[in-house]
A and B are shown apart, each in its own frame.
Chain A
Amino acid sequence: MRIYIAKRLLLIVPTLLGAATLVFLIMRVIPGDVALLIIGGDAGHVDPRQLAAMRERLGLDQPLLVQFGTWLWGVLRFDFGTSLWTGQPVVEELLIRLPLSLELAVLATLVSVVIAIPLGMLAAVRQDTWVDYVIRVVSIGGLAIPGFWVGILCILGLVIFFGWGPPLEFTPPWVDPWANLSQLIWPVLTVGYRYSAVTTRMTRSTLLEVMREDYIRTAWAKGLAERAIVIRHALKNSMLPVITLIGTEFAFLIGGLVVTETVFTLNGVGRFVVDAVAHRDYPVVQALIFLIAFSFVIVNLLVDLTYAWFDPRIRYR
């Protein structure tokens, strides 16, 4: 197991190198001159000196290999340059937004797991009863109802019935846990509900599949209690696809919640990505794509390690 972990950690390096290369190439291979796109120009007129200055600022006047080397060296030092929009280092801008997005992703994932796995289990063991139907209707609701609508309803409900609205500004939990909770609980529940719907259904179907296996049949025949069969034998073996799903969703949550962030006035990575694209903030867009790729790589590693813990048959060498 240790050898496996070591191998996977080493493998991160070429994976991230590949991601960095891809990000670099994408931003340079797309048609059009990025510098021209950024500075635009009044009535189509472009000042050649301004254009040259922008190209120099972006490093586009250098040979491609030099640009790649500079980009990689920056990635290694977590230096992604300066935002063209804000004028601040990209890393600083990210650090303002990342804590919120990470906290939202972690809490939403926790909520979705806490809701989904028990509900999925219950739906599976009570298949085709009213319990199963209710859970399935609730989970279909989570899939079908747009998250932003749930979010807006949530805010409106609080305002109309309690005359209270969530804070509009993020307070880190270590500064004021109550203010942090009172802001984030609502988007966490909104996002958590949406994601629990997917996980509930996945848990239900994988558990149903596993419950039909011969070894489960043997366990029933041996007279084991239902609880022992489901939790000790069936659940663990049904978790592998669920873990993959949870991992993928979590990685997506880091930068994919632009609508939720808009509804709840959260200054997270999702909105920042969209704003950066709209402002043609090239260094920020590059950094964020790399960050999202990085999240997926790390989450995949954690998912694979979790596999090994859940399923001892997996022997990695």
Chain B
Amino acid sequence: MTAGIRRYRTVITAVALAVLVGSLVVTPSAAPAAETPRRGGVLLAVIGADAPSLDPHQESTFATLQMVAPLYNLLIQIDPYNYPKVIGDLATEWKISPDGLTYTFKIRQGVKFHDGSPLTAADIKASYDKLVFPPQGTRSIRKIAYSAVTSIDAPDPATVVFKLKFPSASLLDNLASPWNVIYPKKYLDKDPNYFMKNAVGTGPFKFKNYTRGATFEGERNPDYHVKDRPYLNGYKFFISPETSVRAAAVRSGRAYIEFRDLPNSEVGAIKKQLGDKIVVQQTPMVGQFGIGMNNTVKPFTDVRVRKAMTLGFDRYTAGKVLYPLTGLRDVGPLIRPGTEWALPQAELEKLPGFWRDAEKSRVEARRLLAEAGYPNGFKVVMKNRNVKLPYQDLAVFVIQEWRKIGVEVENRPLETATWFNDLREGNFEMMINPTVEFMDDPDQFLNRYTKGAPQNYTRISDPAVDDLFARQARALDPVERKKLAHAFQKRVLENAYYMPGLWWTRNVVHWAKVKNYVAPPSHYTNQKLQDVWLSED
């Protein structure tokens, strides 16, 4: 071989190697394109309880709302991506009169119910009549939020008018309630309880199938009024009361999401195993878990006993102990701490049950019990819901706390429907009784302490409390309203009418392929799934 050929070969080899190496160099990729929603797929979710009924107007459990919310629309709604902003849903615009006594809504045209009938203002009127002026034989859990409303009119098919007897600072927020789904009037006229077992709405999904104790399914509504929505072909809930089973279902991919909450311990394990295939959205929650004492049943008719019980509950330690298990963490008053309407922490810590010194609190608790005639404590039954997270865990903690002041409390777990029934009927001495709402609104959180309110399960009857509530509800000046809301909370907590426990944080765990779902502070909102999509099946 000649030197020339050898040199040629060397050059060729060098060039080839250079090309090879060059091809392995990572070239800067183009900027990633925004993800394009993919159509298709069925969203699989697990849920921890079965629905007592399918009518959100009459229920207050996530088990009802999460399953049926995708089947319906609201008049106005909380912005799914910008809590707590209120935006239109079936309403395209609205006006509030200068005196705050008239709210006029313009209704979107061309919307159809799943049975093909057109939606008009009459349907909205009928749905709200049911909410605000519930017919005999039905319940409207949140009707007190609309106590200012005197009438609801539909002067034409595209207009709904709410008339008030006094201005209501919270009315717009309350009208955005996720519970206020809009039903077809014709079914309500026949039977106001029709929707307890049936589902006909205007939502992005139509009802497909419901097997109690097993599954709830919705399928895509091809005639949905929002163009190109929904992306999903359907959704399916698997009902499983056991937390570890739900966590395992998400972990194994049998379910893609758990909308309510999974405890930190489960979340840690899932994340460790699945890494970035899983997304965990942690958010503080618009809800707290506390304990209701039946104010009409001895010994809780005595304020000293009630105060002793709240003093005996060391909330600060509870937050440390229960947070890893349950997400319950923050000590606060009757409205979420750190929000606009909550009693400031400095004032809260002066009230019984919120002192920093736990031992001092217990000494005072025992003194109050002795003064009330219970020097050796007493025995009582506390009814509870048989949902472990966090009902049972909270019960375990508080029971051992009260034992330290001589009060023996028996935890009695009940199935959801029974628990709700006993709450409503006042059939309890003590009850684990959360206050969970869709918004940090004083009307929503405080109305339950007023006489006659549907959610006044603990039978509180204090004219001063009622007066403070009424005044804050009408106060359009935020400064004045805040003062009244604080005074209200002080009054309720000083008298220990109710024992708030800990405010919740929640972990919404989902597979990364579930796109465009933002977990809001409330597990009641953003459940319509209109904009959710799956990047793969």
Contact = CB atoms under 8 A, between A and B. Distances in A.
A168 B249 contact: yes
A168 B238 contact: yes
Interface string B94-137: 00000000000000000000000000000000000000000011
A267 B417 contact: no
Given A163-B273, A275-B50, A47 B137 contact: yes
A86 B197 contact: yes
B426 A156 contact: no
Given A96-B211, A275-B213, A278-B417, A159 B454 contact: no
Nearest to B414: A278
Contacts of A47: 136-137
Q: B197, B212, B244, B245 — which one has the most chain A CB atoms within 10 A of its CB?
A: B212
Given A44-B425, A169-B214, A272-B213, A160 B273 contact: yes
Contact of B426 (A44, A50, A271): A44
A267 B417 CA distance: 18
B420 to A, nearest CB: 9
Contacts of B242: 152, 262-263
A6 B252 CA distance: 53
A275 B426 contact: no
B398 interface: no
Given A44-B425, A262-B241, A165 B248 contact: yes
Given A43-B425, A85-B212, A275-B212, A265 B137 contact: no
B253 A40 contact: no
B462 interface: no
Interface string B220-260: 00000000000000000011111011001101111100000
A42 B454 contact: yes
A163 B255 CA distance: 13
Contact of A42 (B239, B251, B424): B424
A229 B244 CA distance: 50
A169 B44 CA distance: 11
A50 B415 CA distance: 24
Contacts of B417: 278-280
B252 A164 contact: yes
A168 B240 contact: yes
Contact of A165 (B197, B211, B251, B416): B251
A265 B252 contact: no
Given A42-B454, A159-B251, A265 B238 contact: yes
A87 B415 contact: no
Contacts of B416: 278
A148 to B, nearest CB: 8
B529 interface: no
B36 interface: no
Contacts of A93: 212
B256 to A, nearest CB: 12
Which has the most chain B C-beta neighbours within 10 Å: A169, A272, A274?
A169
A175 B421 CA distance: 40
Nearest to B52: A279
Given A44-B426, A274-B415, 15 more contacts: A41-B425, A43-B454, A44-B425, A49-B137, A93-B212, A152-B244, A156-B248, A159-B248, A159-B252, A169-B214, A262-B242, A262-B245, A265-B240, A267-B213, A278-B417
Interface of A: 40-44, 47, 49-50, 85-87, 93, 96, 152, 155-156, 158-160, 163-170, 262-265, 267, 271-272, 274-275, 278-280
Enumerate the 8 nearest inter-chain pairs by beta-carbon distance, A residue then B residue, closest first. Answer: A165-B252, A278-B415, A267-B214, A168-B238, A87-B197, A265-B240, A159-B252, A165-B254
8 contacts: A40-B421, A47-B137, A159-B273, A165-B253, A166-B254, A267-B214, A278-B414, A280-B418
